[in-house]
Structure 1
């Protein structure tokens, strides 16, 4: 029954995109790597950044923990996760974040190594000069004040000009679109919105080496999770060229929440994602990779 339902969803998802005039491109699933570790703090991975060559990663847990690791590959595919190191995500007073204040979700890393993290339950974006160091909280946008407690600033990305973009999982504009908030180093603005389609909500974002904005989305049901990846061209006038790269049936992957887009040794675009297991034994932590069309 579950397999039949999943198969029935595939044409419905594709036709749904076509009905909205969205270009549906074909991404290819390259593989999924089950990542295990026995430490009590391990899990809840919600943010992800890969190095330019895909050989190392930084991951962020939604329980105020950040970690780095190497990713050995065989024929381009993930073979292991090694040299795992971790640090607490700390407050501006250099103390460990606790409770709702430590609900860290989105991750972006500047070329100089500066780390930016978005928080959900207490909506804000913070800057970190080093792993495990104190936070410098950016001024809060007025739009952050009325965010849902469990549906706030999930996604965070940095463009080629060093500007930050964040969006809420569930807060919407009056016309039902997804507001995208941008920090230019001085102030927050909301330069554009994205269309919400098919019950998916944004959980991660990244600017790829092609300069396009990629948004990973999730739909949760009683059966399992579904995932979707869309992208846009971003200009000073807004966004355009919306493309749906993949939309999965229920249960294809676990709860994908972190996203990093990069180019492999052959120059092909890849999307790497990590799942949030919610520290729940029936879920799993996995690294999932797709080859993307240029």
Structure 2
């Protein structure tokens, strides 16, 4: 069976199983249809290429920014066919992110960049774990503009800090840590606005699933990409969407739950409108390992 057809059938099965699980649990079945669009395996020759944990897509789907977990930012253009399927990725530039003094960040404790969000004004926001913090960049080559440190949260530690980052239309940021401090403890949702942090709400945790990426869609929903590492069986991924309120999430749906090894280690999520529906674009972190790959996976959501 051709690889593309196999992936499409696997994706359809995953969506069907997710709907069945929600229905069996007593909740409403999703009101949306999720269509598999395509997968693009991306190769790069630079030593800094890989480890991508964050992604932003331009409103028309033709441009991208991706963030590696070693403090490198890449940007460029996307070639698509008439059906909107990715056929090529062209890198226009890359930058080694810097600290507040203008010194390039080293991989590890200070340079573990995880979350990426770009505002309507072009300002680039990056969340780091290791030394948990948020930094802003008016230009990729500029020194970081330091921001107030986020509050200490249960479960936050080295390699388990602010993992998912999204930006609202008003410029406020939403951030989630990778862990909550216990399998039965919900994930706290932080809001950063006008230089201040506050706890907005919390999101239910399903024991093995951990947040790795997030975005606020043009439909007003908050989209959360989660990952389950299953050892030798590889990674499974899922996407939830919900409306965030101070009284808790509303209208929550599990849109996608992949099978182990169906995709690589999906960590970054961008949500945009492609003219036919809401497009979900996800990018994988290959951990700079030869056995893994950098791939972009896309779905279209039709309500």
Q: When the two structures are superposed, what TM-score results if normalisation uses the length of structure 2?
A: 0.89
Secondary structure of the 2:244 match is: strand
Q: Which residue of 1 aligns with 2:270?
A: 260
Gaps of 5+ in 2: 1-5
| Residues 23 and 169 (structure 1), Cα distance of their counterparts in 2 relative to 1, 3 Å cut | farther
Q: Which stretch of the first structure deviates more once superposed, 271-280 or 79-88?
A: 79-88
The aligned length equals: 288
In structure 1, distance between residues paired with 2:67 and 2:185: 29
Question: What CA deviation, in whole Å up to 9, does each residue of 1:201-249 have, x standing for no partner?
Answer: 1100000111110000000112111010001112454420101111011
Q: When the two structures are superposed, what TM-score results if normalisation uses the length of structure 1?
A: 0.92
How do 1:246-285 and structure 2 match up within 5 A? 246-264=256-274, 266-285=275-294
Q: Does 1:121 align with 2:130?
A: yes
Q: Which residue of 2 aligns with 1:179?
A: 188
Superposed structure 1 runs of 4+ greater than 3 Å apart: 9-16, 22-26, 172-175, 235-238
Q: Does 1:21 align with 2:27?
A: yes
Q: Which stretch of the first structure deviates more once superposed, 155-164 or 230-239?
A: 230-239
CA shift for structure 1 position 15: 4.3
In structure 1, distance between residues paired with 2:28 and 2:70: 36
Contact 1:152 1:171 survives alignment (8 Å): no
Q: Does 1:169 align with 2:178?
A: yes
C-alpha RMSD of the superposition: 2.2
CA shift for structure 1 position 50: 0.4
CA shift for structure 1 position 17: 2.9
| Residues 96 and 183 (structure 1), Cα distance of their counterparts in 2 relative to 1, 3 Å cut | same
Contact 2:209 2:226 survives alignment (8 Å): yes
- Structure 2 counterpart of 1:80, from 60, 84, 88: 88
In structure 1, distance between residues paired with 2:28 and 2:176: 21
Question: What CA deviation, in whole Å up to 9, does each residue of 1:236-267 have, x standing for no partner?
Answer: 54420101111011111100001100011x34
